[in-house]
Amino acid sequence: AQSVAQPEDQVNVAEGNPLTVKCTYSVSGNPYLFWYVQYPNRGLQFLLKYITGDNLVKGSYGFEAEFNKSQTSFHLKKPSALVSDSALYFCAVRFLTGGGNKLTFGTGTQLKVEL
Amino acid sequence: ETGVTQSPTHLIKTRGQQVTLRCSSQSGHNTVSWYQQALGQGPQFIFQYYREEENGRGNFPPRFSGLQFPNYSSELNVNALELDDSALYLCASSADRGRGYEQYFGPGTRLTVT
């Protein structure tokens, strides 16, 4: 079965410090991996994706993610956190189903950036 | 903001009733996926429509059904509502069944079943 795990329910970080939100996956074949962010009472916003190529992927709002095949991980990172980054972050993996495709999401990690 | 819109924003229904949620996809996208996000959980895939046909379904009962129209907008219908159907329903559009392409989400419809 294909799955995504986000081991931390919440991550706290001080503004200006680097942040990491962890994600590990289990999928047969080559994974397509995504990060989304959700602000209160809003839908999900796309941050970045890994399909193939460079293991370090750069996305929106200064976020980046590192694909590590040997560790089956796709951690989200940002060199300097902002208070406005406080939100709910979801990692997702895409796989085909019945000719279509779907995203399987992790349970989410609440990021809290404090002054 | 994405170009995906959903209506209504909120609604309250009684157990046993039926509900229809609507979604307009982003310009140029021909694929619509629906997800259910229960409180405190990640979105769960309901089904996907591509060129007006169902193109993949998650682990949801048949009382969850959908339609896609020629302009690629979509509806999610839920019959015989249950209390556990209370959730945020998200619509996502993408190009070419989403293969390799990101899905763009609408703001969601918050459904409360009493």
Read off the pLDDT of residues B14-63 as tens digits, 9 standing for 90 and up.
999 999 999 999 888 889 999 999 998 999 999 999 889 998 889 999 99
Predicted confidence band at B99 (pLDDT cuts at 50, 70, 90)?
low
* The pLDDT of residue B56: 87
User: Angle at Cα A35 formed by Cα A34 and Cα A37, nearest 5°?
Assistant: 145
Tell me phi and psi for residue A9, to 5 degrees.
-75, -35
> Strands A100-105 and A44-50, how do they pair?
unpaired
Please tell me the number of Cα atoms within 13 Å of B4 on its side-chain side: 30
Q: Which residues of chain A have a pLDDT value below 50?
A: none
* pLDDT beyond 60 at B98: no
On whether the CB atoms of residues A77 and A66 are closer than 8 A, the answer is yes
Question: How many other CB atoms are there within 10 angstroms of residue A63's CB atom?
Answer: 20
Q: B58 vs A102: CB contact, 8 Å cut-off? A: yes
pLDDT, one tens digit per residue, over A33-53 is: 999 999 987 889 999 999 888
**Which of A34, A90, A97 lies at the smallest CB-CB distance from B102?**
A34
Distance from CA of A56 to the nearest CA of B (A): 17
* pLDDT beyond 80 at B96: no
- Residue B94 and residue B100: Cα distance in Å, rounded? 10
Q: Does A60 touch chain B (CB under 8 A)?
A: no
**Numbered residues of chain B with Cβ closer than 8 Å to any chain A Cβ:** 2, 4, 6, 31, 33, 35, 41-45, 48, 50, 55-58, 90, 92, 97-100, 102-108, 110
Q: B98 vs A94: CB contact, 8 Å cut-off? A: yes
**Averaged confidence pLDDT in chain B:** 92
Q: B41 vs A51: CB contact, 8 Å cut-off? A: no
